[in-house]
Amino acid sequence: MRTTKIKIKNLFGITETELDGRSVEITGANGVGKTSVIDAFRYALTNQSDRSIIVHEGEKEGEIIIETDTGLSIDRRKRTEQADYKSIKENGREVMSPESFLKQLFSPLQLDPVAFTLMTTKEKNRAILDLVEFDWDLNYINEKFGEIPSWVNYDQNILEVLSDMQSENGEWFKQRQNINRDIRNETAFIEDIAKDIPEHYQAETWENYDLGAAYKKLEQMKEFNSRIERAKLFRSSYDAKLRQLEADKMISITSEEKAVAAERENLLSNIERMKAEIKAAEEKIAGLAGKLEDKKALAESKFNEAKTKLDADMSVADEYLDKQPLDCTELQAEISNAETMKRHLNEYNRMKSMQEKLERLQEVSAEYTKKIELARTLPGTILENAHIPIDGLTVKDGIPLINGLPVSNLSEGEQLSLCVDVALSKPNGLQIILIDGTEKLTSENREKLYSKCREKGVQFIATRTTDDTEMKVTYLE
């Protein structure tokens, strides 16, 4: 699609001018209206302008009319005292959604290729990536990644968005680094705990082991064995204790006999002197025999009581005399092992908790890795399905390459040639390039650009600053 007519009236610095469908170079000094032609054309296509005053000074309406060889006509008017006017027709019929329709006819690089050569590398990359036609929205991101990362700028080309997602400066990469650091720390903690825990440690066994019951059983066994020992000792001392009891009895009786004999002798020796008390003394003597018997009976009673108790104790001991002591070695070893194993429980449980945390961290890290890898590989899938308007355009890590080279590595002439290719990338679009300020280019690059446009059949409107005081239009076809 080429223009066949461009008519501008009272827009920017132009009072009135008209061009046909041929390529032109507009020359003249600053202020004669060269750039106004290009700005008017841009305004017709985009309804936008960087200038604060669009209508020519002193006028109420400015207008631009563009007609093409395909039957498209654009009539846009800027008004100062009433609503603006636009009419976009195709073969005489108004088109639906005219602004959206116009955007499909051109690429931004067509409207200012010289400015493209002056952009920063980042700006150039973005301009090239914007040429890749791929229909996407935030639902596409959500479906692919299960979320819409808040730290990504979505006012970018999809390839730049994906590049930011997988970038080392992105939150996913940083979060994965943090998680992997935690994984390393948790792994080190687990290994430090594990080195002190016996191999094949059965935590559930020692968690459920009743150490109190084992101790109680051990004490019962020790008490049983102690009774056996005490029984044997009691048996060996029984005869000696019995002899001692008999000796105590005899000593007690002998002592009493001596005491009574001494008292009798004393009484008999004084009997003569105690005539008056003979009857009483004789009665007393008679009573002494009974008293002696009482003493003997008491001594015998004490002996029998003590012997009975001794025999009772011996009967208890007799129960254990023939019994064999219980072997406590196995239970003692079991208890000692249980005590050792139980001391590991807290650290073991702490280790298990850390291992569960480690597994969760590894799952999160793997999920971030999955998303990062998807963001790295998805551009390839997109480029397979997207419309790529430029031959030799590829994308690596979010960076556009032209025949394997970054755009920043292209010469000025190659970058301008790229803009011609862009103009040709839309078969049904406007085959025109607006080149403002070609004096910024070397003469060689300017001629190469003009030649390539003519060779490819691309119409162009170029401006070049000269010393001429009036605007001059030179047709180059």
419-443 tens-digit pLDDT: 777 767 666 788 888 988 888 888 8
Q: Is pLDDT at 477 greater than 70 in this prediction?
A: yes
Of the candidate ranges 24-33, 53-62, 270-279, the one whose mean pLDDT is the lowest: 270-279
pLDDT band at 29 (very low <50, low <70, confident <90, very high): very high
In three state form, how does the secondary structure of the chain look? CCEEEEEEEEECCEEEEEEECCCEEEEECCCCCHHHHHHHHHHHHHCCCCCCCCECCCCCEEEEEEEECCCEEEEEEEECCCCCEEEEEECCEECCCHHHHHHCCCCHHHHCHHHHHHCCHHHHHHHHHCCCECCCCHHHHHHHHCCCCCCCCCCCCHHHHHHHHHCCCCHHHHHHHHHHHHHHHHHHHHHHHHCCCCCCCCHHHHHHCCHHHHHHHHHHHHHHHHHHHHHHHHHHHHHHHHHHHHHHHHHHHHHHHHHHHHHHHHHHHCCCCCHHHHHHHHHHHHHHHHHHHHHHHHHHHHHHHHHHHHHHHHHHHHHHHCCCCCCCHHHHHHHHHHHHHHCCHHHHHHHHHHHHHHHHHHHHHHHHHHHHHHHHHHHHHHHHHCECCCCCEEEECCEEEECCEEHHHCCHHHHHHHHHHHHCCCCCCCCEEEECCHHHCCHHHHHHHHHHHHHHCCEEEEEEECCCCCCEEEECC
**What average pLDDT does this structure show over 126-151?**
85
pLDDT band at 277 (very low <50, low <70, confident <90, very high): low
Q: Is pLDDT at 364 greater than 90 in this prediction?
A: yes
**What average pLDDT does this structure show over 127-131?**
75
pTM: 0.54
pLDDT band at 142 (very low <50, low <70, confident <90, very high): very high
Q: Note the pLDDT of residue 266.
A: 82
Of the candidate ranges 136-140, 408-412, 454-458, the one whose mean pLDDT is the lowest: 408-412
161-218 tens-digit pLDDT: 888 898 888 999 999 999 999 999 999 999 999 888 888 888 889 889 898 998 999 8
Domain boundaries, the chain: 3-106+426-475, 208-340
State the average pLDDT for the chain. Answer: 86
334-363 tens-digit pLDDT: 889 989 888 888 888 998 999 999 999 999
pLDDT band at 276 (very low <50, low <70, confident <90, very high): low
Q: Is pLDDT at 396 greater than 90 in this prediction?
A: no
**What average pLDDT does this structure show over 457-469?**
90
Q: What is the separation of C-alpha 41 from the centre of its chain, rounded to a whole number of angstroms?
A: 52
CATH 3.40.50.1110 corresponds to the domain 3-106+426-475: no
Q: Note the pLDDT of residue 143.
A: 92
